[in-house]
Structure 1
Amino acid sequence: MHYKEAKHILSASNGMNLYRGCTHGCIYCDSRSTCYQFDHPFEDVEVKVNAPELLEDALCRKRNRCMIGTGSMCDPYLPIEKTELLTRRCLKMINRYDFGVSLLTKSDLVLRDLDLLQSINARSKAVVCTTLTTLGEELSRIVEPNVATTRRRAEMLKTVHEAGVHTGVWLCPILPFLNDTEENLRGLLDYCFDAGVEMIMNFGMGVTLRDGDRQYFYRKLDEHFPGMKERYIRAFGDSYQCASPNSAELMKIFQAECRAHGVRYEPDDCFAWLSEYEDKQVAAQISLF
């Protein structure tokens, strides 16, 4: 890893990435794409050492409170967070100034900060999401080698839910010819429903591949699944969207199960919920009258 003084931390949509790069090793990671213009090796994680100070300044300047999101480009709970504490320090700022937060992580290290998430959620809104892709632990260890196991991530969500904090799942990518089966989908959904998640985000049963991401993905296919790269090339060529041949059938199952369990699943609805700030203090005052 290496350290860097960042110039700003919040995007126009109130998202933040406290680290740049990743050590999770997921073979499908879109963040490896060349369009993101990394100027250092992807696994040499950049630590934005002044992120908490930048965040405090940005929050103080906000005219209205809102949800702060993190995890879309880089996991806020990489192993180095154990010692760097950027995420915890930023959660303290969010809590201090009564903003909300939405986290996306593949790590159970988030449980360390459950006290802060409960405090945030008591006054506004806190959401913890994880990504689930692969039911079988052996396959999961190949496609996402350095993260908490699928079962452990589901257990983490259940613990967060039982602590009164909102939870959700990003059910993607579903990799054609690898985990695009009904058994895999139903198993992951069972984990979700048992954990009490309130939303499951899915953009279609398949994977997206672009320059940078595609080359790494194909190298890993050659390493672990001989002949699979050629199957992808025959099926998808250079397409960005690589939809599973089973997509239509799997989407019907996904949507029907989410409706049956009362879980939001339409992407627009999920994004709206994630970005919807709640001021519980004002709501409590109004209820008194």
Structure 2
Amino acid sequence: MTPAQVAFFNKKPERYFGVDYFLRPFFGSHPSRQYFSTTADIDPVYHKDHVAVAHERIPLILDKLASLESGMIVGFSQNPDPYDPALTEEQPMETLLGTIRDKKLGLYLETANEGLIRDLPLIQQIKKKAPVIVTVPIGFANDQIQQVIIPKEPTFAKKLRLIAKLAAEGINVGTLLKPIIPFVNDSEAHLIEIIEKAKQAGTCFIYPSFGINLNSSQHRMFMDFVMRNLPGLRNIYMDHFGFKKSWASPKLKLLKKTFVINMKKNKLPFGMKEIISGLVSEKVVQLKLF
């Protein structure tokens, strides 16, 4: 394992929340990666290992963090979720967040799990010196549908509660709108419900991803999954998408229009440039000046 494999450089931070490096301290993947990824996923690959702390990576990551300049932003994606319940006993994030704080680095963190709350004091300390953004992925307002697609994912109510807790503590918390799966959760009413309830909970932005991406292995696994759990969709999917690698709802234009109208109605930013300029850029400039 090399340093480049545990902390990969983001060549275009302006396209993803200003993050300079993404860290990989864990084995395994988010369960959805077995079937698909989205354009909002910085790491779309499915890693077959069980979710666990990659202990041999931690010293390499700590060395990398020590080499970074103050004000740079490091990130943790949800592949796997850094607060996956399988990781709760070891609590590996505490050491990493402590080093991020001490180096005055910024933090981007994507999670759907309330386990993050135990590290809130450390995150608050990081926020005093550098930008902090937490994103919560939400693709389903209907828990019954979500439990078919991603059985162990926290419920809509739990995700909203996490957003509310973070917002109440002054943390910049946003929503990643994903996954939006054609013919499953791609209705306008569903989209509006997510926007309005996330706004009520305290989200400060919503970054959208419409549709799913599937490589050849994911396509095979997803179609097998559909046959077992959603058999009525198999022929629909083959007719509409065949073996295409990108699937978008036939209602994509309407969904995007509905999204933009309701985001403006709720006065929430949704473009990456707007999100970064509002939450990251100003503070990074100040750090580099001093």
TM over 0.5: yes
Change (3 A) 1:111 1:22: same
Cα separation, 2, equivalents of 1:135 and 1:27: 22
Cα separation, 1, equivalents of 2:46 and 2:192: 37
Cα root mean square deviation, aligned: 2.8
Q: Aligned with 1:123: secondary structure?
A: coil
Q: Aligned with 1:278: secondary structure?
A: helix
Q: How does 1:195-206 map to 2 (within 5 A)?
A: 195-203=201-209, 205-206=210-211
- Give the AA of the match of 2:27: R
Equivalent residue, structure 2, for 1:22: 29
Cα offsets for 1:65-110 (capped at 9, x unmatched): 3111111532111122212222222111111211111111121211
155-164 vs 102-111, which moves further:
102-111
Cα separation, 2, equivalents of 1:195 and 1:114: 18
Equivalent residue, structure 2, for 1:7: 2
Q: How does 1:104-123 map to 2 (within 5 A)?
A: 104-123=110-129
Corresponding position: 1:151 with 2:151: no
* Structure 2 contact 36–219 (Cα < 8 Å) conserved: no
- Give the AA of the match of 1:173: P
Cα separation, 2, equivalents of 1:152 and 1:27: 24
Equivalent residue, structure 2, for 1:131: 137
* Aligned-pair identity (%): 21
Q: How big is the shift at 1:275?
A: 6.3
Cα offsets for 1:113-138 (capped at 9, x unmatched): 11111111122122111111111111
Q: How does 1:28-107 map to 2 (within 5 A)?
A: 28-30=35-37, 36=45, 38=47, 42-45=48-51, 47-107=53-113
Cα separation, 2, equivalents of 1:123 and 1:45: 31
169-178 vs 253-262, which moves further:
253-262
* Structure 2 contact 30–81 (Cα < 8 Å) conserved: no
Cα separation, 2, equivalents of 1:149 and 1:37: 23
- Give the AA of the match of 2:8: S
* Structure 1 contact 51–86 (Cα < 8 Å) conserved: no
Equivalent residue, structure 2, for 1:214: 219
* Structure 1 contact 104–131 (Cα < 8 Å) conserved: yes
Q: Aligned with 2:227: secondary structure?
A: helix
Equivalent residue, structure 2, for 1:247: 252
* Structure 2 contact 27–49 (Cα < 8 Å) conserved: no
- Give the AA of the match of 2:23: M
Q: Aligned with 2:216: secondary structure?
A: coil
Cα separation, 1, equivalents of 2:169 and 2:226: 39
Q: How big is the shift at 1:262?
A: 2.4
Q: How big is the shift at 1:225?
A: 1.0
Equivalent residue, structure 1, for 2:263: 258
Equivalent residue, structure 1, for 2:41: none
* Structure 1 contact 124–280 (Cα < 8 Å) conserved: no
Cα separation, 2, equivalents of 1:141 and 1:241: 23
100-109 vs 6-15, which moves further:
6-15
Cα offsets for 1:161-200 (capped at 9, x unmatched): 1101111111022111111111211111112111221221
Cα offsets for 1:194-236 (capped at 9, x unmatched): 1221221113x32222222222221221121112122111101
Q: Aligned with 1:80: secondary structure?
A: helix
Equivalent residue, structure 2, for 1:3: none
100-109 vs 205-214, which moves further:
205-214
* Structure 2 contact 226–234 (Cα < 8 Å) conserved: yes
Q: How big is the shift at 1:264?
A: 1.6
Equivalent residue, structure 2, for 1:234: 239
Cα separation, 1, equivalents of 2:234 and 2:84: 29
Cα offsets for 1:11-54 (capped at 9, x unmatched): 112111221313645774439xxx9485xxx2523532144432
Q: How does 1:154-169 map to 2 (within 5 A)?
A: 154-169=160-175
Aligned length: 274
- Give the AA of the match of 2:220: Q
